Chains A and B, each alone.
Chain A
Amino acid sequence: MVSIDLNNFWSSAFQDLLVLVGYILLILVGLVLAVSYLTLAERKVLAAIQIRVGPNVVGWFGLLQPFADGLKLIHKETIIPTRANPFLFILAPILTFSLSLSAWAVIPFGEGWVISNINVGILYLFAISSLGVYGIIMAGWASNSRYAFLGALRSAAQMVSYEVSIGLVLIAVILTAGSLNLTEIVEAQKGLWFIIPHLPMAVIFMISALAETNRAPFDLPEAESELVTGYNVEYSSMTFALFFLGEYANMILMSAMGSILFLGGWLPPFDIVPFTWVPGIVWFSLKISVLLFVFLWVRATFPRYRYDQLMRLGWKVFLPFTLFWVVLTSGVLVTFNLYPGS
Protein backbone atom coordinates (compact mmCIF):
# COMPACT_ATOMS: atom_id res chain seq x y z
CA MET A 1 0.00 0.00 0.00
CA VAL A 2 1.41 3.35 -1.04
CA SER A 3 0.69 6.46 0.92
CA ILE A 4 2.30 9.84 0.32
CA ASP A 5 2.60 12.17 3.26
CA LEU A 6 1.75 15.33 1.43
CA ASN A 7 2.58 17.62 4.33
CA ASN A 8 6.22 16.59 4.58
CA PHE A 9 6.62 16.82 0.85
CA TRP A 10 9.24 19.56 0.62
CA SER A 11 11.34 18.64 3.61
CA SER A 12 11.80 14.95 2.90
CA ALA A 13 11.04 14.21 -0.71
CA PHE A 14 13.05 16.60 -2.86
CA GLN A 15 15.73 14.03 -3.51
CA ASP A 16 13.12 11.37 -4.23
CA LEU A 17 11.54 13.77 -6.68
CA LEU A 18 14.79 14.09 -8.65
CA VAL A 19 15.15 10.30 -8.75
CA LEU A 20 11.54 10.00 -9.87
CA VAL A 21 12.09 12.48 -12.71
CA GLY A 22 15.11 10.41 -13.72
CA TYR A 23 13.00 7.22 -13.85
CA ILE A 24 10.29 8.97 -15.83
CA LEU A 25 12.82 10.26 -18.37
CA LEU A 26 14.31 6.76 -18.63
CA ILE A 27 10.91 5.24 -19.40
CA LEU A 28 9.97 8.00 -21.84
CA VAL A 29 13.21 7.71 -23.81
CA GLY A 30 12.92 3.92 -23.86
CA LEU A 31 9.31 4.12 -24.95
CA VAL A 32 9.92 6.60 -27.76
CA LEU A 33 12.80 4.45 -29.02
CA ALA A 34 10.59 1.36 -28.81
CA VAL A 35 7.85 3.16 -30.75
CA SER A 36 10.24 4.27 -33.49
CA TYR A 37 11.62 0.77 -33.89
CA LEU A 38 8.12 -0.67 -33.80
CA THR A 39 7.35 1.31 -36.96
CA LEU A 40 10.44 -0.18 -38.58
CA ALA A 41 9.50 -3.66 -37.32
CA GLU A 42 6.02 -3.24 -38.74
CA ARG A 43 7.38 -2.39 -42.18
CA LYS A 44 9.89 -5.23 -42.05
CA VAL A 45 7.33 -7.80 -40.90
CA LEU A 46 4.78 -6.70 -43.50
CA ALA A 47 7.52 -6.85 -46.14
CA ALA A 48 8.54 -10.33 -45.08
CA ILE A 49 4.95 -11.58 -45.15
CA GLN A 50 4.45 -10.09 -48.62
CA ILE A 51 7.88 -11.42 -49.81
CA ARG A 52 9.42 -7.97 -50.18
CA VAL A 53 12.61 -6.53 -48.69
CA GLY A 54 11.22 -3.55 -46.77
CA PRO A 55 13.19 -0.43 -45.84
CA ASN A 56 16.89 -1.19 -46.37
CA VAL A 57 18.47 2.04 -47.63
CA VAL A 58 18.92 4.32 -44.60
CA GLY A 59 21.50 2.78 -42.32
CA TRP A 60 22.47 -0.85 -41.84
CA PHE A 61 19.42 -3.03 -42.77
CA GLY A 62 17.40 0.18 -42.70
CA LEU A 63 17.99 0.57 -38.98
CA LEU A 64 18.13 4.37 -39.20
CA GLN A 65 14.86 4.58 -41.16
CA PRO A 66 12.72 5.68 -38.13
CA PHE A 67 15.03 8.66 -37.54
CA ALA A 68 14.88 9.62 -41.20
CA ASP A 69 11.06 9.51 -40.99
CA GLY A 70 11.09 11.56 -37.81
CA LEU A 71 13.37 14.22 -39.32
CA LYS A 72 11.16 14.42 -42.38
CA LEU A 73 8.06 14.97 -40.22
CA ILE A 74 9.73 17.66 -38.10
CA HIS A 75 10.81 19.55 -41.23
CA LYS A 76 7.29 19.80 -42.60
CA GLU A 77 4.95 22.71 -42.02
CA THR A 78 2.21 22.51 -39.39
CA ILE A 79 -0.99 23.42 -41.19
CA ILE A 80 -4.06 24.49 -39.25
CA PRO A 81 -7.18 24.59 -41.46
CA THR A 82 -8.80 28.04 -41.65
CA ARG A 83 -12.18 27.04 -40.17
CA ALA A 84 -10.71 24.70 -37.59
CA ASN A 85 -10.83 25.27 -33.86
CA PRO A 86 -7.12 25.95 -33.27
CA PHE A 87 -7.00 25.25 -29.54
CA LEU A 88 -8.68 21.84 -29.73
CA PHE A 89 -6.91 21.09 -33.00
CA ILE A 90 -3.51 21.42 -31.31
CA LEU A 91 -4.67 19.92 -28.00
CA ALA A 92 -5.94 16.65 -29.54
CA PRO A 93 -2.58 15.14 -30.63
CA ILE A 94 -0.91 16.33 -27.43
CA LEU A 95 -3.64 14.62 -25.41
CA THR A 96 -3.35 11.37 -27.38
CA PHE A 97 0.41 11.24 -26.98
CA SER A 98 0.60 12.22 -23.32
CA LEU A 99 -2.15 9.75 -22.36
CA SER A 100 -0.31 6.92 -24.06
CA LEU A 101 2.81 7.86 -22.07
CA SER A 102 1.19 8.45 -18.69
CA ALA A 103 -0.18 4.91 -18.50
CA TRP A 104 3.37 3.58 -18.11
CA ALA A 105 3.58 5.01 -14.60
CA VAL A 106 1.94 1.89 -13.13
CA ILE A 107 3.41 -0.84 -15.36
CA PRO A 108 5.73 -3.12 -13.37
CA PHE A 109 8.79 -3.97 -15.49
CA GLY A 110 10.20 -6.36 -12.94
CA GLU A 111 9.87 -7.22 -9.28
CA GLY A 112 9.56 -3.79 -7.67
CA TRP A 113 10.50 -2.02 -10.92
CA VAL A 114 7.56 0.31 -11.06
CA ILE A 115 7.29 4.09 -10.73
CA SER A 116 4.02 4.10 -8.83
CA ASN A 117 2.80 0.86 -7.28
CA ILE A 118 -0.78 2.01 -6.66
CA ASN A 119 -3.55 -0.14 -5.21
CA VAL A 120 -5.86 0.24 -8.18
CA GLY A 121 -3.25 0.00 -10.93
CA ILE A 122 -5.41 -2.01 -13.28
CA LEU A 123 -8.28 0.48 -12.96
CA TYR A 124 -5.84 3.30 -13.69
CA LEU A 125 -4.73 1.52 -16.87
CA PHE A 126 -8.35 0.96 -17.86
CA ALA A 127 -9.20 4.60 -17.21
CA ILE A 128 -6.26 5.87 -19.25
CA SER A 129 -7.06 3.57 -22.17
CA SER A 130 -10.69 4.67 -22.09
CA LEU A 131 -9.60 8.31 -22.32
CA GLY A 132 -7.73 7.69 -25.56
CA VAL A 133 -10.94 8.20 -27.51
CA TYR A 134 -10.98 11.92 -26.63
CA GLY A 135 -7.87 12.71 -28.64
CA ILE A 136 -9.49 11.19 -31.70
CA ILE A 137 -12.95 12.66 -31.23
CA MET A 138 -11.55 16.15 -30.54
CA ALA A 139 -9.28 15.93 -33.58
CA GLY A 140 -12.21 14.90 -35.76
CA TRP A 141 -14.46 17.69 -34.55
CA ALA A 142 -11.82 20.45 -34.43
CA SER A 143 -10.60 19.82 -37.99
CA ASN A 144 -14.00 20.88 -39.33
CA SER A 145 -13.80 18.27 -42.08
CA ARG A 146 -16.39 15.63 -43.04
CA TYR A 147 -13.88 12.82 -43.40
CA ALA A 148 -12.18 13.56 -40.13
CA PHE A 149 -15.53 13.86 -38.32
CA LEU A 150 -16.87 10.57 -39.69
CA GLY A 151 -13.64 8.83 -38.70
CA ALA A 152 -13.86 10.27 -35.21
CA LEU A 153 -17.49 9.17 -34.74
CA ARG A 154 -16.69 5.65 -35.90
CA SER A 155 -13.78 5.52 -33.55
CA ALA A 156 -15.78 6.75 -30.57
CA ALA A 157 -18.49 4.13 -31.06
CA GLN A 158 -15.94 1.39 -31.59
CA MET A 159 -13.78 2.18 -28.58
CA VAL A 160 -16.74 2.52 -26.22
CA SER A 161 -18.14 -0.82 -27.41
CA TYR A 162 -14.96 -2.79 -26.98
CA GLU A 163 -14.14 -1.22 -23.64
CA VAL A 164 -17.12 -3.09 -22.20
CA SER A 165 -15.71 -6.49 -23.08
CA ILE A 166 -12.19 -5.48 -21.98
CA GLY A 167 -13.66 -4.43 -18.64
CA LEU A 168 -15.30 -7.82 -18.15
CA VAL A 169 -12.07 -9.59 -19.14
CA LEU A 170 -10.28 -7.54 -16.50
CA ILE A 171 -12.89 -8.52 -13.92
CA ALA A 172 -12.33 -12.23 -14.64
CA VAL A 173 -8.58 -11.76 -14.16
CA ILE A 174 -9.03 -9.66 -11.01
CA LEU A 175 -11.30 -12.34 -9.52
CA THR A 176 -8.61 -14.97 -10.07
CA ALA A 177 -5.76 -12.80 -8.82
CA GLY A 178 -7.67 -11.26 -5.90
CA SER A 179 -6.12 -7.83 -6.32
CA LEU A 180 -6.30 -4.66 -8.38
CA ASN A 181 -2.57 -4.09 -7.97
CA LEU A 182 -0.59 -5.01 -11.09
CA THR A 183 2.39 -6.36 -9.16
CA GLU A 184 0.14 -8.65 -7.14
CA ILE A 185 -1.64 -9.78 -10.31
CA VAL A 186 1.72 -10.85 -11.74
CA GLU A 187 2.74 -12.52 -8.47
CA ALA A 188 -0.53 -14.48 -8.47
CA GLN A 189 0.52 -16.10 -11.75
CA LYS A 190 3.54 -17.85 -10.24
CA GLY A 191 3.28 -21.44 -11.39
CA LEU A 192 0.26 -20.94 -13.64
CA TRP A 193 -0.07 -18.11 -16.12
CA PHE A 194 -3.63 -16.89 -16.46
CA ILE A 195 -3.59 -17.65 -20.18
CA ILE A 196 -4.11 -21.33 -19.30
CA PRO A 197 -7.33 -21.08 -17.24
CA HIS A 198 -8.49 -17.95 -19.10
CA LEU A 199 -7.52 -18.80 -22.69
CA PRO A 200 -10.82 -17.58 -24.25
CA MET A 201 -10.51 -14.34 -22.28
CA ALA A 202 -6.94 -13.86 -23.55
CA VAL A 203 -8.15 -14.25 -27.14
CA ILE A 204 -11.01 -11.80 -26.56
CA PHE A 205 -8.64 -9.36 -24.88
CA MET A 206 -6.28 -9.49 -27.85
CA ILE A 207 -9.11 -8.92 -30.36
CA SER A 208 -10.54 -6.09 -28.26
CA ALA A 209 -7.07 -4.58 -28.00
CA LEU A 210 -6.95 -4.51 -31.80
CA ALA A 211 -10.27 -2.65 -31.84
CA GLU A 212 -9.24 -0.36 -28.98
CA THR A 213 -6.05 0.74 -30.75
CA ASN A 214 -7.87 1.13 -34.09
CA ARG A 215 -5.61 -1.42 -35.74
CA ALA A 216 -6.40 -3.69 -38.67
CA PRO A 217 -8.79 -5.48 -39.11
CA PHE A 218 -10.74 -2.91 -37.06
CA ASP A 219 -9.09 0.19 -38.52
CA LEU A 220 -12.40 1.64 -39.73
CA PRO A 221 -11.75 5.11 -38.27
CA GLU A 222 -8.86 5.49 -40.70
CA ALA A 223 -10.17 3.41 -43.57
CA GLU A 224 -8.06 4.77 -46.43
CA SER A 225 -10.42 3.79 -49.20
CA GLU A 226 -13.50 5.60 -47.85
CA LEU A 227 -12.33 8.21 -45.33
CA VAL A 228 -8.89 9.11 -46.76
CA THR A 229 -7.30 8.47 -43.35
CA GLY A 230 -10.14 9.50 -41.08
CA TYR A 231 -9.64 11.65 -38.02
CA ASN A 232 -6.06 12.69 -38.79
CA VAL A 233 -6.59 13.72 -42.40
CA GLU A 234 -6.08 17.45 -41.71
CA TYR A 235 -2.96 16.95 -39.62
CA SER A 236 0.58 17.42 -40.81
CA SER A 237 4.11 17.55 -39.46
CA MET A 238 4.56 17.13 -35.68
CA THR A 239 0.84 17.14 -34.92
CA PHE A 240 0.48 14.11 -37.18
CA ALA A 241 3.64 12.57 -35.73
CA LEU A 242 2.16 12.78 -32.21
CA PHE A 243 -0.95 10.87 -33.33
CA PHE A 244 1.25 8.32 -35.02
CA LEU A 245 3.50 7.89 -31.99
CA GLY A 246 0.48 7.75 -29.71
CA GLU A 247 -1.12 4.97 -31.74
CA TYR A 248 2.03 2.87 -31.64
CA ALA A 249 2.66 3.62 -27.96
CA ASN A 250 -0.89 2.41 -27.32
CA MET A 251 -0.12 -0.82 -29.15
CA ILE A 252 2.89 -1.36 -26.91
CA LEU A 253 0.78 -0.49 -23.86
CA MET A 254 -1.93 -3.00 -24.82
CA SER A 255 0.74 -5.66 -25.34
CA ALA A 256 2.23 -4.87 -21.95
CA MET A 257 -1.25 -5.12 -20.41
CA GLY A 258 -1.80 -8.45 -22.15
CA SER A 259 1.48 -9.86 -20.90
CA ILE A 260 0.82 -8.66 -17.35
CA LEU A 261 -2.73 -10.04 -17.27
CA PHE A 262 -2.23 -13.34 -19.06
CA LEU A 263 1.44 -14.11 -19.67
CA GLY A 264 2.80 -13.57 -16.18
CA GLY A 265 4.54 -10.22 -16.70
CA TRP A 266 8.20 -10.50 -15.76
CA LEU A 267 7.92 -14.13 -14.53
CA PRO A 268 9.89 -16.80 -16.40
CA PRO A 269 7.83 -19.59 -18.01
CA PHE A 270 9.20 -22.21 -15.62
CA ASP A 271 10.55 -21.50 -12.17
CA ILE A 272 13.70 -23.61 -12.69
CA VAL A 273 17.35 -22.75 -13.14
CA PRO A 274 18.14 -21.82 -16.75
CA PHE A 275 14.99 -19.72 -16.97
CA THR A 276 15.44 -17.90 -13.68
CA TRP A 277 18.93 -16.71 -14.72
CA VAL A 278 17.37 -14.42 -17.29
CA PRO A 279 16.36 -11.10 -15.67
CA GLY A 280 12.64 -10.35 -15.44
CA ILE A 281 12.69 -7.33 -17.72
CA VAL A 282 14.01 -9.50 -20.55
CA TRP A 283 11.08 -11.89 -20.17
CA PHE A 284 8.70 -8.96 -20.01
CA SER A 285 10.11 -7.38 -23.19
CA LEU A 286 10.05 -10.74 -24.96
CA LYS A 287 6.37 -11.23 -24.11
CA ILE A 288 5.53 -7.70 -25.26
CA SER A 289 7.40 -8.33 -28.51
CA VAL A 290 5.50 -11.55 -29.16
CA LEU A 291 2.15 -9.78 -28.66
CA LEU A 292 3.28 -6.88 -30.87
CA PHE A 293 4.18 -9.39 -33.56
CA VAL A 294 0.61 -10.69 -33.35
CA PHE A 295 -0.62 -7.11 -33.99
CA LEU A 296 1.52 -6.88 -37.16
CA TRP A 297 0.74 -10.43 -38.24
CA VAL A 298 -3.00 -9.78 -38.00
CA ARG A 299 -2.63 -6.59 -40.03
CA ALA A 300 -0.91 -8.48 -42.83
CA THR A 301 -3.39 -11.36 -42.79
CA PHE A 302 -6.97 -10.16 -42.30
CA PRO A 303 -9.18 -7.94 -44.44
CA ARG A 304 -10.97 -5.01 -42.79
CA TYR A 305 -14.25 -5.65 -40.96
CA ARG A 306 -17.48 -4.03 -42.05
CA TYR A 307 -18.92 -1.62 -39.51
CA ASP A 308 -22.06 -3.59 -38.64
CA GLN A 309 -19.97 -6.74 -38.27
CA LEU A 310 -17.68 -4.91 -35.88
CA MET A 311 -20.60 -3.81 -33.69
CA ARG A 312 -22.18 -7.26 -33.84
CA LEU A 313 -18.95 -8.90 -32.71
CA GLY A 314 -18.54 -6.48 -29.82
CA TRP A 315 -22.06 -6.40 -28.44
CA LYS A 316 -23.61 -9.71 -29.46
CA VAL A 317 -20.65 -12.08 -29.22
CA PHE A 318 -18.01 -10.72 -26.85
CA LEU A 319 -20.26 -9.05 -24.29
CA PRO A 320 -22.45 -12.12 -23.54
CA PHE A 321 -19.50 -14.47 -23.62
CA THR A 322 -17.31 -12.41 -21.28
CA LEU A 323 -20.28 -11.96 -18.94
CA PHE A 324 -20.81 -15.73 -18.92
CA TRP A 325 -17.11 -16.25 -18.27
CA VAL A 326 -17.11 -13.86 -15.29
CA VAL A 327 -20.04 -15.79 -13.79
CA LEU A 328 -18.31 -19.09 -14.54
CA THR A 329 -15.02 -17.91 -13.01
CA SER A 330 -16.63 -16.72 -9.82
CA GLY A 331 -18.72 -19.90 -9.64
CA VAL A 332 -15.69 -22.15 -10.01
CA LEU A 333 -13.67 -20.10 -7.52
CA VAL A 334 -16.39 -20.31 -4.89
CA THR A 335 -17.37 -23.95 -5.49
CA PHE A 336 -13.83 -25.33 -5.31
CA ASN A 337 -12.77 -22.85 -2.62
CA LEU A 338 -10.03 -21.53 -4.88
CA TYR A 339 -10.60 -17.84 -4.43
CA PRO A 340 -7.53 -15.91 -3.37
CA GLY A 341 -7.14 -15.48 0.34
CA SER A 342 -9.04 -18.68 1.24
Chain B
Amino acid sequence: MINIAAILFYLFSGVLLSSAMMVVTARNTVHGVLFLILAFFNAAGLFILANAEFLALLLVVVYVGAVAVLFLFVVMMLNVEMGNIQKTAREYSVAGGLIGGTLAVELILMLYSWNTSPEAFEMISSPISKDGVTNTQALGNLIYTHYALIFQASGIILLIAMVGAIVLTLRHREGIRRQKIGDQLARDPKDSVSLVDISPGSGI
Protein backbone atom coordinates (compact mmCIF):
# COMPACT_ATOMS: atom_id res chain seq x y z
CA MET B 1 0.00 0.00 0.00
CA ILE B 2 1.40 3.32 -1.05
CA ASN B 3 1.03 6.05 1.51
CA ILE B 4 -0.30 8.95 -0.57
CA ALA B 5 -0.23 11.36 2.37
CA ALA B 6 3.45 10.67 2.99
CA ILE B 7 4.31 11.06 -0.70
CA LEU B 8 2.43 14.35 -0.85
CA PHE B 9 4.06 15.52 2.36
CA TYR B 10 7.56 14.90 1.03
CA LEU B 11 6.63 16.39 -2.36
CA PHE B 12 5.28 19.58 -0.80
CA SER B 13 8.10 19.96 1.68
CA GLY B 14 10.71 19.17 -0.97
CA VAL B 15 9.38 21.79 -3.36
CA LEU B 16 8.91 24.20 -0.45
CA LEU B 17 12.53 23.89 0.67
CA SER B 18 14.03 24.00 -2.79
CA SER B 19 11.95 27.02 -3.86
CA ALA B 20 12.87 28.76 -0.59
CA MET B 21 16.50 28.09 -1.54
CA MET B 22 15.86 29.53 -5.00
CA VAL B 23 14.37 32.70 -3.47
CA VAL B 24 17.79 33.71 -2.17
CA THR B 25 19.91 32.29 -4.98
CA ALA B 26 17.88 33.33 -8.06
CA ARG B 27 19.84 35.83 -10.15
CA ASN B 28 16.70 37.61 -11.27
CA THR B 29 14.82 39.27 -8.40
CA VAL B 30 11.46 38.81 -10.11
CA HIS B 31 12.14 35.09 -10.39
CA GLY B 32 13.01 35.18 -6.69
CA VAL B 33 9.59 36.57 -5.81
CA LEU B 34 7.88 34.01 -8.05
CA PHE B 35 9.76 31.24 -6.22
CA LEU B 36 8.57 32.77 -2.95
CA ILE B 37 5.00 32.43 -4.22
CA LEU B 38 5.67 28.77 -5.09
CA ALA B 39 6.96 28.29 -1.53
CA PHE B 40 3.75 29.83 -0.11
CA PHE B 41 1.67 27.47 -2.23
CA ASN B 42 3.51 24.43 -0.99
CA ALA B 43 3.14 25.60 2.60
CA ALA B 44 -0.60 25.84 1.93
CA GLY B 45 -0.47 22.29 0.61
CA LEU B 46 1.17 21.15 3.85
CA PHE B 47 -1.60 22.87 5.85
CA ILE B 48 -4.23 21.04 3.80
CA LEU B 49 -2.49 17.73 4.46
CA ALA B 50 -2.78 18.49 8.17
CA ASN B 51 -6.53 19.16 7.60
CA ALA B 52 -6.06 22.86 8.37
CA GLU B 53 -7.88 24.02 5.25
CA PHE B 54 -8.88 27.38 6.73
CA LEU B 55 -5.27 28.31 7.47
CA ALA B 56 -4.18 27.02 4.07
CA LEU B 57 -6.61 29.22 2.17
CA LEU B 58 -5.92 32.18 4.43
CA LEU B 59 -2.23 31.79 3.63
CA VAL B 60 -3.03 31.87 -0.08
CA VAL B 61 -5.39 34.85 0.23
CA VAL B 62 -3.15 36.99 2.43
CA TYR B 63 0.38 36.10 1.41
CA VAL B 64 0.00 35.07 -2.22
CA GLY B 65 -2.96 37.29 -3.06
CA ALA B 66 -1.79 40.49 -1.39
CA VAL B 67 1.69 40.51 0.16
CA ALA B 68 3.51 38.85 -2.73
CA VAL B 69 1.71 41.07 -5.23
CA LEU B 70 3.15 44.09 -3.45
CA PHE B 71 6.62 42.47 -3.39
CA LEU B 72 6.37 41.82 -7.10
CA PHE B 73 5.15 45.35 -7.64
CA VAL B 74 8.13 46.86 -5.85
CA VAL B 75 10.72 44.49 -7.32
CA MET B 76 9.49 45.12 -10.85
CA MET B 77 9.50 48.89 -10.33
CA LEU B 78 13.00 48.97 -8.83
CA ASN B 79 14.64 47.24 -11.81
CA VAL B 80 17.68 46.15 -9.80
CA GLU B 81 20.93 45.87 -11.70
CA MET B 82 22.85 42.70 -10.96
CA GLY B 83 26.29 44.32 -11.22
CA ASN B 84 25.61 46.59 -8.26
CA ILE B 85 24.25 43.73 -6.22
CA GLN B 86 27.40 41.68 -6.73
CA LYS B 87 29.54 44.62 -5.63
CA THR B 88 27.50 45.26 -2.49
CA ALA B 89 27.29 41.53 -1.83
CA ARG B 90 31.10 41.41 -1.62
CA GLU B 91 31.14 44.36 0.79
CA TYR B 92 28.63 42.78 3.12
CA SER B 93 29.92 39.21 2.84
CA VAL B 94 31.85 39.31 6.14
CA ALA B 95 28.97 40.61 8.26
CA GLY B 96 26.46 38.41 6.47
CA GLY B 97 28.67 35.37 6.84
CA LEU B 98 29.06 36.03 10.58
CA ILE B 99 25.31 36.32 11.16
CA GLY B 100 24.50 33.34 8.95
CA GLY B 101 27.24 31.25 10.54
CA THR B 102 26.00 32.04 14.04
CA LEU B 103 22.48 31.03 13.10
CA ALA B 104 23.73 27.83 11.46
CA VAL B 105 25.77 26.89 14.56
CA GLU B 106 22.75 27.54 16.77
CA LEU B 107 20.54 25.38 14.57
CA ILE B 108 23.07 22.54 14.58
CA LEU B 109 23.44 22.76 18.38
CA MET B 110 19.67 22.61 18.71
CA LEU B 111 19.44 19.61 16.39
CA TYR B 112 21.75 17.67 18.73
CA SER B 113 19.32 17.94 21.62
CA TRP B 114 16.22 17.44 19.49
CA ASN B 115 13.83 14.60 20.29
CA THR B 116 10.98 14.07 17.87
CA SER B 117 7.97 12.93 19.82
CA PRO B 118 6.07 9.93 18.45
CA GLU B 119 2.93 12.08 18.16
CA ALA B 120 4.69 14.40 15.73
CA PHE B 121 5.07 11.59 13.19
CA GLU B 122 1.34 10.95 13.33
CA MET B 123 0.64 14.63 12.71
CA ILE B 124 1.70 14.32 9.06
CA SER B 125 -1.80 13.40 7.95
CA SER B 126 -3.94 13.51 11.07
CA PRO B 127 -6.86 15.89 11.38
CA ILE B 128 -6.42 18.85 13.69
CA SER B 129 -9.71 18.28 15.48
CA LYS B 130 -11.19 14.83 15.60
CA ASP B 131 -14.55 15.64 17.18
CA GLY B 132 -16.30 17.12 14.13
CA VAL B 133 -15.58 20.76 14.95
CA THR B 134 -14.65 22.61 11.77
CA ASN B 135 -11.36 24.43 11.46
CA THR B 136 -12.99 27.81 11.42
CA GLN B 137 -14.91 27.13 14.62
CA ALA B 138 -11.86 25.73 16.38
CA LEU B 139 -9.72 28.72 15.43
CA GLY B 140 -12.46 31.22 16.29
CA ASN B 141 -12.96 29.60 19.65
CA LEU B 142 -9.24 29.77 20.34
CA ILE B 143 -8.72 33.36 19.20
CA TYR B 144 -11.90 35.05 20.35
CA THR B 145 -12.67 33.10 23.52
CA HIS B 146 -9.46 31.83 25.09
CA TYR B 147 -6.93 34.35 23.81
CA ALA B 148 -9.16 37.37 23.12
CA LEU B 149 -6.95 39.85 24.98
CA ILE B 150 -3.73 38.65 23.33
CA PHE B 151 -5.46 38.78 19.97
CA GLN B 152 -6.60 42.35 20.55
CA ALA B 153 -3.16 43.34 21.79
CA SER B 154 -1.61 42.04 18.57
CA GLY B 155 -4.24 44.02 16.67
CA ILE B 156 -3.20 47.18 18.49
CA ILE B 157 0.47 46.49 17.75
CA LEU B 158 -0.38 46.14 14.07
CA LEU B 159 -2.38 49.37 14.20
CA ILE B 160 0.58 51.20 15.74
CA ALA B 161 2.85 49.80 13.05
CA MET B 162 0.42 51.01 10.42
CA VAL B 163 0.19 54.49 11.90
CA GLY B 164 3.98 54.57 12.10
CA ALA B 165 4.36 53.60 8.45
CA ILE B 166 1.89 56.28 7.40
CA VAL B 167 3.59 58.95 9.54
CA LEU B 168 6.99 58.04 8.10
CA THR B 169 5.88 58.22 4.48
CA LEU B 170 3.28 60.98 4.61
CA ARG B 171 4.42 64.24 3.10
CA HIS B 172 2.39 67.26 2.14
CA ARG B 173 3.59 68.61 -1.16
CA GLU B 174 2.75 72.12 -2.19
CA GLY B 175 0.90 72.95 -5.35
CA ILE B 176 -0.97 69.68 -5.81
CA ARG B 177 -4.54 70.01 -6.97
CA ARG B 178 -6.86 67.37 -5.69
CA GLN B 179 -10.31 66.63 -6.95
CA LYS B 180 -12.98 67.59 -4.41
CA ILE B 181 -16.06 65.82 -5.63
CA GLY B 182 -18.30 67.43 -3.02
CA ASP B 183 -17.27 70.93 -4.17
CA GLN B 184 -17.78 69.95 -7.78
CA LEU B 185 -21.25 68.67 -7.16
CA ALA B 186 -22.18 71.69 -5.02
CA ARG B 187 -21.24 74.14 -7.75
CA ASP B 188 -24.02 76.14 -9.30
CA PRO B 189 -23.93 77.90 -12.69
CA LYS B 190 -25.14 81.05 -10.91
CA ASP B 191 -22.03 81.22 -8.68
CA SER B 192 -19.47 80.25 -11.29
CA VAL B 193 -20.45 82.39 -14.26
CA SER B 194 -20.89 86.15 -13.94
CA LEU B 195 -21.41 88.81 -16.54
CA VAL B 196 -19.04 91.74 -16.07
CA ASP B 197 -19.37 95.05 -17.82
CA ILE B 198 -15.86 96.34 -18.54
CA SER B 199 -15.04 99.75 -19.86
CA PRO B 200 -12.54 99.53 -22.75
CA GLY B 201 -8.84 99.61 -21.80
CA SER B 202 -9.26 99.07 -18.06
CA GLY B 203 -9.29 95.28 -17.62
CA ILE B 204 -11.01 93.51 -14.79
**Chain A residues in the interface with B (C-beta under 8 A):** 1, 3, 6-7, 9-10, 88, 118-120, 123-124, 126-127, 130-131, 133-134, 137-138, 141, 149, 153, 156-157, 159-160, 163, 167, 180, 308-309, 312
Contact = CB atoms under 8 A, between A and B. Distances in A.
A217 B93 CA distance: 51
B4 A131 contact: no
Interface string B61-84: 100111001101100110000000
A131 B5 CA distance: 26
Contacts of A156: 69, 72-73
Interface in B65-118: 65-66, 69-70, 72-73, 76-77
Interface of B: 1-5, 8, 30, 34, 37, 51, 53-54, 57-58, 60-61, 64-66, 69-70, 72-73, 76-77, 125, 127, 132, 134-136, 179
Given A127-B57, A131-B64, A131-B65, A3 B136 contact: no
Contact of A123 (B2, B8, B58): B58
Nearest to A9: B4
Contact of A124 (B2, B34, B57): B57
Given A1-B134, A6-B4, A141 B76 contact: yes
Secondary structure call for the A interface: helix
What 8 A-B pairs have minimum CB-CB distances, sorted nearest first? Answer: A130-B65, A123-B57, A127-B60, A6-B4, A6-B5, A127-B61, A127-B57, A9-B4
Contacts of A149: 76
Given A6-B8, A134-B37, A160-B65, 8 more contacts: A6-B5, A119-B53, A120-B53, A127-B64, A130-B61, A131-B60, A163-B66, A180-B136
Nearest to B77: A153
